[in-house]
A and B are shown apart, each in its own frame.
Chain A
Amino acid sequence: MFDAPTPGDTMVQTDTKISARNVQVYYGDTHAIKDVNVDIEAKSVTAFIGPSGCGKSTFLRCINRMNDTIDVCRVEGDILLDGEDIYDKKVDPVQLRAKVGMVFQKPNPFPKSIYDNVAYGPRIHGLAKSKADLDEIVEKSLRRGAIWDEVKDRLQAPGTGLSGGQQQRLCIARAVATEPEVLLMDEPCSALDPIATAQVEELIDELRNQYSVVIVTHSMQQAARVSQKTAFFHLGNLVEYGDTSQIFTNPKDERTESYITGRIG
């Protein structure tokens, strides 16, 4: 059933940020994620690929406990962030989410100004001591989101007035403003045109210097372009996990091979 190499046994990881052990997710009676084990490296980009409904987004949302907001969703197994179980009773999901930021499929800026969009996270976490501090955080985040030059003259304009690609980069800037350690991206480019996609991909590549990025994507080309590690999900199973170059050139599992060559999907 599960024949991917067990991470930790065959692969030597010196710097593991997140490790999942025997994770099961149920939506009511549906068994959505089946026994997933994976180690995600710090300061690298890990891509989750797989056909629709394979559970990759579900698994991603487990990492910052966004699934808590769904009543019927139940998670079993352990997910360790820096060796600490994030599903421990002592963990407050709010505190966890400050550490594990998230960017969603559809750009979802708050219907507020660009400045307020970015400043919201730092404000509620008390990261800025003064207005000047906050201004600095906002600028730094917008620069990291690679959107500063486009919006620096209109920080008070509504964030919803930007184009789709700009909105998504604004959302990335908003996510990095709280200084997370891990950045989860759920198909961040699926609503964007090719040019905006290229900009966001470039940005993801830069973000790798500071964050562990986990990205869910439908596009195999995108996974090949931006990630160092790739995990292939199929029907709730983690079929294969390994270096991106290896997955795309020399997959070990025939399901992976079928998928990347376009025979299943």
Chain B
Amino acid sequence: MSDASMPTATPHGSIHEQDARTKRRNAAESRFKAYGIIAIGIGLLMLLALVYTILSKGVGAFQQSFITMQVELLESKLDKTGERDIEKIKKVTTFGYAPLIKTAFEKTTAENGIETALKSKDMAKMLSKSAAAQLRDYVIANPEKIGETIEFRFLANSRIDGYLKGRVTRDSIANDKNVTPAQLDFADQLIAAGVLKKTFNIDFIIGADASDQRPEAAGMGVAMMGSLFMMLVVLALALPIGVAASIYLEEFAPKNWITDIIEVNISNLAAVPSIVFGILGLAVFINYMHLPQSAPLVGGLVLTLMTLPTIIISTRASLKSVPPSIRDAALGVGASKMQSVFHHVLPLAAPGILTGTIIGLAQALGETAPLLLIGMIGFIASNMPETIGEGLLSPNSAMPAQIYEWAKRADPAFYERAWGGIIILLIFLISMNTLAVILRRRFERRW
């Protein structure tokens, strides 16, 4: 600290004038801010475009066109003996119901004063192929109604529905064998008479998938149950295993090369493509352990493998963020290691663990690739599972797999449903992420 080493003070200019260096620095800062704003702006634009596309293409799926008519449940067709024997009523196939619908359609047309050259056969073709089945299901459920006249709301087929939604036009049907201009004229008359109407369709949300021929009847509900059961399996397995593994690794395990290798590999696992977990699931759970194919149980097991690294990494991070002074305090009053972890560290880490788990679940919920390999994709005609066991073991699909399935089918009506399915899936994901944020805000402790 000798005086000779002090540099002689150079006189600075006025602070009211920026020198060249300051100007350059400020310009660099402004440029950097501008880049940031541009980047965020582009991101926001993309997001807006995405949301707009999804909404504009998908909202249609939540509405469906229905034709309302009075159907007389003729005893002579449905129950010739008049005994109301349910077994005999069941013998009447959907073909037996078709004439009732034709008659009802003709009557409705006449009652509303609509004049048309259309034959009743072509009229009936405007209804969904599910109409007869809907009627039959109703009769089997309520045999006492035979002989009465009941009002029914039948789905219009996908072409007529598309006409109401603007997807099908007179120009576009030139080469379409499934619909004629005459039918569209008739549809216009039905709309004017209030018989054909577009309304909200709850069956899209709660119903089951339908075959290629009946896009208008397809719904997301059963796939949603498939996803739900998979998530239950993931939650029940991944949370306890992941949290236990992280606690052991973080708090108890000695720090040596073995734990280092485990740590590196957990990070690696988090980066493994999900389809690899799918083929692992196929090899182990289905081919070796002979668990049923296409079952949510297997899907859940595969997704558990995929979610575990995420949960372990986030749990370890939140355990690490608990200040060591809390552990010292607990050990200092004579708590054992385990007591200090379970009484003090874990409660403080819980919000972080919960957030990590929910984000892991949300990832798993949106995963499609591993489901391809274990057969949870394709047209799986299943009804709502009635028991938990059935829900876990009977073949099912999952929401993203269902969307993929719809997107690859030929009929444009399915395409609309795929977008609608994406809306439902996104609503689930957004709610889960919101829940994660709320939980973190709510339970986060500061010290």
> Which of A91-99, A221-229, A239-247 participates in binding chain B?
A91-99
CA–CA, A160 and B344, complex, Å: 14
Q: A120 and B336: CB pair below 8 A?
A: no
CA–CA, A71 and B343, complex, Å: 23
Q: Given the known A-B contacts A71-B254, A111-B348, are A121 and B333 also in contact in the complex, defined by CB atoms under 8 Å? A: yes
A121 in complex: contacting residue of B254, B255, B328, B334, CB < 8 Å: B334
Closest residue of B by beta carbon distance from A64? B332
Q: Does B74 contact A (CB under 8 A)?
A: no
Q: Does A171 contact B (CB under 8 A)?
A: yes
Q: Does A11 contact B (CB under 8 A)?
A: no
Q: Does B326 contact A (CB under 8 A)?
A: yes
Chain B contact-residue range equals: 20 to 34
Q: Does B325 contact A (CB under 8 A)?
A: yes
Q: Does A145 contact B (CB under 8 A)?
A: no
Q: A110 and B326: CB pair below 8 A?
A: yes
Q: Does B329 contact A (CB under 8 A)?
A: yes
A104 in complex: contacting residue of B255, B329, B334, CB < 8 Å: B329
Tell me which residues across on chain A come within 8 A of B325, comparing CB atoms: 104, 106, 108
Q: Does B339 contact A (CB under 8 A)?
A: yes
Residues 297-331 (chain B) with a chain A CB within 8 angstroms: 323, 325-331
B331 in complex: contacting residue of A97, A109, A125, A174, CB < 8 Å: A97
Q: A110 and B329: CB pair below 8 A?
A: yes
Q: Does B447 contact A (CB under 8 A)?
A: yes
Q: How far is the CB of B447 from chain A (nearest CB, A)?
A: 5
Closest residue of A by beta carbon distance from B335? A124
Q: Does B445 contact A (CB under 8 A)?
A: yes
Q: Does A178 contact B (CB under 8 A)?
A: yes
CA–CA, A110 and B325, complex, Å: 9
Interface string of B285-300 (1 = CB under 8 A from A): 0000000000000000
B334 in complex: contacting residue of A69, A71, A95, CB < 8 Å: A95
Closest residue of B by beta carbon distance from A92? B336
Q: Does A157 contact B (CB under 8 A)?
A: no
Q: A160 and B332: CB pair below 8 A?
A: no
Which residues of A come within 8 Å of B, CB atoms?
Answer: 64, 66, 69, 71, 94-95, 97-98, 101-104, 106, 108-111, 120-121, 124-125, 160, 171, 174-175, 177-178
Give me 7 A-to-B residue pairs in the complex whose CB atoms sit less than 8 angstroms apart, sorted by A's number: A66-B332, A97-B331, A98-B333, A109-B329, A121-B333, A175-B333, A178-B333
